[in-house]
Amino acid sequence: MAEAATLEEAALALDIGGTKILAALVRGAEVLAEVRVPTDPSAGPEGWLARAEEAVAPWAGRYAWTGAAVTGLVDGGRWSALNPGILPIPDGYPLMERLSARLGGPAAAFNDAQAAAWGEHRFGAGQGADMVFLTLSTGIGGGIVLGGRLLLGRGSLAGHFGVTAPVLAEHPAHIEDGIAGRWIAGEAARVGHPVDAEGVFAAAQAGEGWAETIVMKSARRAARLLANIQLMLAPARIVLGGGIGLAPGQIERLRELLGPLPPLRRPCLVPAALGARAGVIGAADLARPTIKNDNQQRRIA
């Protein structure tokens, strides 16, 4: 483990996703310590926070504030699900208040993909550019940084791409329900291979046809989403993250599928430089001005 952080510089950061919780002690772009625990969907927000609190107990006194990156919508410090199928968060859960009460000190919370977008813009593959971050994970999340500002809020301009509806109604609700990790595992089980999404990618890498069929179908749909994002926002780069986005071979499949598009409409796809840590690094940084300077408008719109 790296050296101890000084209190003024280090933050506790949590990334609460549909499958796992990553807790980290973060200083700038540096992760000084980290721990992962699974998210039990049935435990509810108090259960998820209790699990995180237990995991970070050894770091007591080593951080000055807490930043959380969470799946779902954070609005006025309250947390709700956009798609309860990814994680059943009750509407309007007082997340900032509960984080602060449980972990001590000031706390701020953000959507996971928006926080990761900020992390990649500040320290990773999106530096100095208008960028979109797209996480292909349990679900699909997005974050947009234009002119150095992270777009927050509820609308699709805040990057909630996964819960947009498919134009061709292949699936009744959200496009993520036909592309992302839950769908991939569900498809595998349907064809007699009850493994998680990671297992499907491993099987595809090993040349198993059933697995290649599933990951290609996911990739074709994700490529359409990427092409639409490029048309809507024309970012200089789309930074790809998440367990599916960064799975072996997936960025190559997506690049190949997008290859025939005319250059002006073709996304420039790059992998997240901070990998699975983009969310915790972004949340730690975003939470700092909110708390210390009460001047978050400087950086986020």
In the complex, which residues of this chain contact ligand BMX (CB under 6 A)? 17-18, 71-72, 81-83, 86-87, 89, 111-113, 135, 137-141, 162-163, 176
Burial 55-69 (b: 16+ CB within 10 A, else e): bbeebeebbbbbbbb
Measured from the CB atom, the residue of 177 and 285 that comes closer to ligand BMX is 177
Ranked by CB distance to ligand BMX, the top (closest) residue is 141
Closest CB to ligand BMX among residues 162, 267: 162
Nearer to ligand BMX, 5 or 70 (CB): 70
Q: Which is nearer to ligand BMX, 5 or 89 (CB)?
A: 89
Which lies closer to ligand BMX via its Cβ, residue 10 or residue 73?
73
Tell me how far apart the alpha carbons of residues 229 and 131 are, in angstroms, rounded to a whole number.
11
Smallest distance from ligand BMX to CB 180, Å: 6
In the bound complex, what is the minimum distance in angstroms from residue 292's beta carbon to ligand BMX?
Answer: 26
Minimum CB distance to ligand BMX, residue 287 (Å): 17
C-beta of 48: minimal distance to ligand BMX in Å? 12
* Beta carbon of residue 293, minimum distance to ligand BMX (angstroms, whole number): 26
Measured CA to CA, the distance from residue 276 to residue 258 in angstroms comes to 24
Nearest to 186 by CA among 232, 218, 156, 163: 218
CB of 161 to ligand BMX, least distance (A): 8
Q: Which is nearer to ligand BMX, 59 or 183 (CB)?
A: 183
| Closest among 49, 42, 3 to 25, alpha carbons compared | 3
Alpha-carbon gap, residue 64 to 100, rounded angstroms: 11
**Nearest 5°: CA angle at 233, between 227 and 238?**
60
Structure tokens at 277: 């840590």
CA angle (233 as vertex; 231, 238 as ends), nearest 5:
90
Could you tell me the smallest distance in angstroms from the CB atom of residue 54 to ligand BMX? 21
Nearer to ligand BMX, 182 or 237 (CB): 182
